[in-house]
Amino acid sequence: MSARQPQITTIAGVQVVTIPLEHYAELLDCKRMLSERAISHDQLLSPRRSRIERNPEVAVYLAQNFGLLPMGELLRKCRRRFGTPRTPSIAAAYRYWQKIKREAAETGTKMP
Crossing angle for the helix pair 21-45 and 56-65, to the nearest 10 degrees? 120
User: Whole-structure pTM over 0.75, yes or no?
Assistant: no
Tens digits of residue pLDDT in 35-72 = 665 555 555 566 567 889 888 899 999 999 999 999 99
Angle (nearest 5°) at CA 44 between 39 and 47: 120
| Interatomic CA distance for residues 8 and 15, integer angstroms | 7
Count of structural domains, the chain: 1
Tens digits of residue pLDDT in 3-29 = 567 788 898 998 888 888 888 888 888
**Is residue 46, in this structure, part of any structural domain at all?**
yes
**107 residue type, one letter:** T
**Is residue 112, in this structure, part of any structural domain at all?**
no
Q: Residue 65: which domain range?
A: 7-107
